[in-house]
Amino acid sequence: MIVIVPYRDREEHLEVFVPAMHEYLKNIPHEIIVVEQSGNGLFNRGKLLNIGFDLCKDRDAYFCFHDVDLIPVDDSCDYRYPVAPTQLVGCLGPFRSHYREYCGGVMLFRREDFLRLNGYGNQYCGWGCEDDDLYKRLWQCANVPLARRNGRYRTLERAQWDASYDEIRVKRETNPHYQDNLKLLGDPGCYDVLGYSWRAEGLCNLKYEVLEIEKCCGYVKYRVRL
């Protein structure tokens, strides 16, 4: 299994995440690949995950797309080989409450399934919607069901998480970049239609530049320019 982590400016989280994951996955052959976005532009989680996949797509492995701030709590977090695209996060507490369309946090994919979806959308910058886009792609692709394993995770703390869920929701929904992402996504309540052609946007038109490859303790980091 190749664990792909989208990353920027979370060194304190990475220091906790890497040893915790190696300990948890000690019985599963795995490698951690960190894809770091360079520059000061808006963070693009979906594109970084596409890049991580593209860098490793010829490897004989399945893929785990994993946020750096999520740590498995117990053996309910099942990272074994997925027979279908699989969402592992079932419980995150009050901040990120689980809902049935959720395709974020931790996802498992076989290579062939991720290729059929054309990966994530590359255009979602800033806050949100790349996971909603992925859910729509799953619905639009025949014979690519979504499985769930309902694992329990804890989140690594950030100051902004001290706010209530409603406060975070209002902050997100009034963010202009989130509003732009919603327009690109299309009707957020309609999970079989995107606001653009997913077949023409994703892995097939992915462009990036690898600036540096760093072999660190327990992981390999690719610093990339989007």
Query: Total structural domains in the chain?
Result: 1
What local confidence, expressed as pLDDT, does residue 103 receive? 87
Please state the rounded mean pLDDT for residues 38-58. 96
* pLDDT bucket at 128, cuts 50 / 70 / 90: confident
Please state the rounded mean pLDDT for residues 77-86. 96
CA dist list (Å): 102 to 5, 106, 134, 135, 196: 18, 10, 9, 7, 20
Greater confidence (82 vs 138) lies with 82
> What CATH number is associated with residue 25?
3.90.550.10
74 phi and psi angles, rounded to 5 deg = -150, -170
What local confidence, expressed as pLDDT, does residue 139 receive? 81
Contacts of 83 (CB under 8 A, 6+ apart): 110, 147
Domain of residue 181, residue span:
2-225
Please state the rounded mean pLDDT for residues 31-36. 98
Lowest mean pLDDT among 24-38, 123-137, 164-178, 180-194: 164-178
**Residue 126 CB neighbour total at 10 angstroms:** 18
* pLDDT bucket at 58, cuts 50 / 70 / 90: very high
- How does strand 219-225 pair with strand 209-216? antiparallel
- Which residue has tokens 């797309």? 65
Lowest mean pLDDT among 100-104, 120-124, 155-159: 155-159
**Exposed, middle or buried by CB within 10 Å (0-12, 13-18, 19+), for 58?**
exposed
Q: Is the pLDDT of residue 95 over 60?
A: no
Tens-place pLDDT, residues 107-117: 999 999 999 99
Closest CA relative to residue 10, chosen from 156, 124, 153: 156
What local confidence, expressed as pLDDT, does residue 97 receive? 47
What local confidence, expressed as pLDDT, does residue 151 receive? 92
Please state the rounded mean pLDDT for residues 122-150. 86
